[in-house]
Structure 1
Amino acid sequence: MVVTSNGKYEWAKEMKEFDETKAGVKGLVDAGISKIPQFFVHPPESLATPSKTTKNVQLELPTIDFEGVQTGGARRKEVVEEIRKAAGIWGFFRIVNHGVPLHIMDAMLEAVKRFHEQPVEEKKLLYSADSSQRVKFNSNGPLREYDSACWRDILTCVFHDDQLDPEAIPLTCRKEVQEYVKCMIQMREIMAELLSEALGLSSDHLSSIECMKSEALACLYYPICPEPEKTLGTDKHSDTTFLTLLMQDTIGGLQILHDDQWVDVPPVRGALIANIGDLMQIISNDKFISVEHRVLAQPVGPRISVACFFTPSLRAGAKPFAPIKEILSVENPALYREFLFREYCQYYKTKGQDVTSALPHFRIERILP
């Protein structure tokens, strides 16, 4: 801990010293630390579990089998109904038989591990906190002074309108990232159809408004933590996306907040986890829900996961979003105002850890008669 002569903790100095190493959290672990730096320590209220929590509760997430969904007919209707219920009640669901080859999933997880475990000299070339940089490596440092950092490193690759110069992707994982993103784009198209139908819309509705035409691939590395009870791998939040598809390795840690309980979402080999983002909750007018979730720091590891966040195309991002008119009525009026995608993201960022969701800020206040 960096302190002044009068004993005051110097958050900014300690954070700056860590940042200048460009080695990430893994660099701390490699240095053999036994105590985590102070700026990684989360306040007790962030680490505490809600009063109803039962230790080691495992949530039975809805598992949706996509086998036969492309053939249409009764099978497709069955899957659409399962998605409608899961997205409206849980906000999270597991997908099996989704068509993404297991060898591509395994190769992607191995490539993420390989990137993060290469020499610091190689990784530091990409180290940046610049949000405009489409390929970057960093450690999820806090946005504001005295917010807490999370115990993870991250390689981010942003595809605008499904495009990213392959040369910008690190060579150590370039082939795997390209193959995996192709699969995610195919999954996106299927999910867009099924979610549209689950809202009672034509199957091409979500694709036509290009709300999920861009992807941000987060390649996450959660190193072993010497004091996991003091920090978090990822703080409580809901996603500022329309949809997220997550792949986990065999080490758990993901939890979702359900009925005021933190419950584990155990990994299942070969499965993907879909979760509804804030923006999908808004345009669905609360027919689908975005759920807060977090990742625990752990005394084992590393944990590897890959999250694919779906956001609007550049064209759609310049236009306002609002609840879809086709699902509104006198009995079901719009619950949210119009907003621009960048406006939503900016509000979320400026509030830092003071807000876990920006949904209330965009909700229309209605005066009851």
Structure 2
Amino acid sequence: MASRAPDVSTINTSDYDRQKELKLFDDTKAGVKGLVDRGVTKIPRIFITPSDGRITKPVSEDVQMDIPVIDFKGIDKNVNARNRIVEEIRDASETWGFFRLLNHGIPLSVMDEMIEAVRRFNEQPHEVKAQYYTRDRTNKMVYNSNFDLYQAPATNWRDTFFVSMAPDDLNPDELPVVLRKIVPEYAKHVLGLGTKLLELLSEALGLNPSHLKDMDCAEGFAIGGHYYPACPQPELTLGATKHSDNNFFTILLQDQRGGLQVLNQNQWASVSPVQGSLVINIGEFLQASI
């Protein structure tokens, strides 16, 4: 008979040992979804974000902002369109570090299936997911809750899987069955788009189109899927705390039910999901590289 996993929601907070509670949570290999499945009504203390870290609303409700929108339509057929797009990417990268991308070439069916696969993976029985739960980042497939679980001051209310696609080739058999077909298909499209973005970013900097690719900016490539279960006390925690990404750039695929906030000029701007679009986030490594 299998032993029952400890209920981390009942730990005595009068004698709070954060590291102990983190390990108890981690050892379940069930993630945040496991807490929800057990019916917790109060979130464990490790998830409570300090109040000043939960500010994601505009300083002034009167300020209306949105990230730039760039349409790739005609980019490969019209020189003027390409020049306009390069200029728009330059402006968006300098002023926001984010932009929404339309007509990027990735089929909507592939995008929808990728989002559905993230949901299916996380809603599998615990014993199926647990075999992939690890903190060994050398694995091609890594599933856990909060990659910085033991270092972050507050734990985010989310579970995540990461699949390393490059530079080493991925054997699809290393993936869970629910991801085995769609991840390589989605990766093929994203890699093509990523290569094109590197060319356009190079041109926006006044460089040869192959400049960033020649710097091996396209060598590393991973796909991550975040899953945010329903939270019984959403006012006390966040799915993702304020951060910047330490990569060249991120191609974000948003669920239609999801939310994203971007900090610009000391104002938080909500980025509502738009079906068929992608959000591009310029990362720290690209800024350092140029």
TM-score by length of 1: 0.73
Task: State the partner residue of 1:192.
Answer: 198
Q: Secondary structure, in 3 states, of the residue corresponding to 2:177? A: coil
* Residue 273 (str. 1) matches residue 279 (str. 2): yes
Task: State the partner residue of 1:2.
Answer: 11
CA–CA distance in structure 2, aligned partners of residues 112 and 186 of structure 1: 21
- Contact persistence 2:48–2:155 (CA under 8 A): yes
Q: CA deviation at 1:146?
A: 7.0
Letter aligned with residue 273 of structure 1:
V
Task: State the partner residue of 2:7.
Answer: none
- Contact persistence 1:3–1:10 (CA under 8 A): no
* Residue 27 (str. 1) matches residue 34 (str. 2): yes
Pair 1:75–1:133, CA change in 2 (3 A): same
Q: Which runs of 4+ in 1 moved over 6 A?
A: none
Task: State the partner residue of 1:41.
Answer: 48
Structure showing greater relative contact order (alpha-carbon pairs closer than 8 Å, 6 or more residues apart): 2
Within 5 A, what are the aligned runs for 1:1-369?
1-3=10-12, 7-49=14-56, 53-55=59-61, 59-140=65-146, 142-144=148-150, 147-161=153-167, 163-284=169-290
Pair 1:263–1:106, CA change in 2 (3 A): same
Q: Secondary structure, in 3 states, of the residue corresponding to 1:154? A: strand
CA–CA distance in structure 2, aligned partners of residues 186 and 213 of structure 1: 13
CA–CA distance in structure 1, aligned partners of residues 211 and 242 of structure 2: 31
Would you say how many aligned residue pairs link Structure 1 and Structure 2?
281
- Contact persistence 1:128–1:137 (CA under 8 A): yes
Q: CA deviation at 1:131?
A: 1.9
- Deviation string for 1:165-199 (max 9, x for gaps)? 21111111111101000000110111011001000
Pair 1:150–1:57, CA change in 2 (3 A): farther
- Contact persistence 1:25–1:151 (CA under 8 A): yes
CA–CA distance in structure 2, aligned partners of residues 256 and 222 of structure 1: 18
Identical-pair percentage: 46
Q: CA deviation at 1:49?
A: 4.8
Letter aligned with residue 43 of structure 2:
I
Letter aligned with residue 27 of structure 1:
G
CA–CA distance in structure 2, aligned partners of residues 17 and 210 of structure 1: 40
- Contact persistence 1:162–1:213 (CA under 8 A): no
Letter aligned with residue 32 of structure 2:
V
Pair 1:201–1:140, CA change in 2 (3 A): same
- Contact persistence 1:11–1:146 (CA under 8 A): no
- Contact persistence 1:252–1:265 (CA under 8 A): no
- Contact persistence 1:212–1:243 (CA under 8 A): no
Q: CA deviation at 1:162?
A: 6.2
Which runs of no fewer than 5 residues in structure 1 stay unpaired? 285-369
CA RMSD of aligned residues (A): 1.8
- Contact persistence 2:66–2:270 (CA under 8 A): no
CA–CA distance in structure 2, aligned partners of residues 145 and 3 of structure 1: 22
- Deviation string for 1:42-68 (max 9, x for gaps)? 112211358x61349653211100011
CA–CA distance in structure 2, aligned partners of residues 116 and 222 of structure 1: 10
Q: CA deviation at 1:252?
A: 3.2
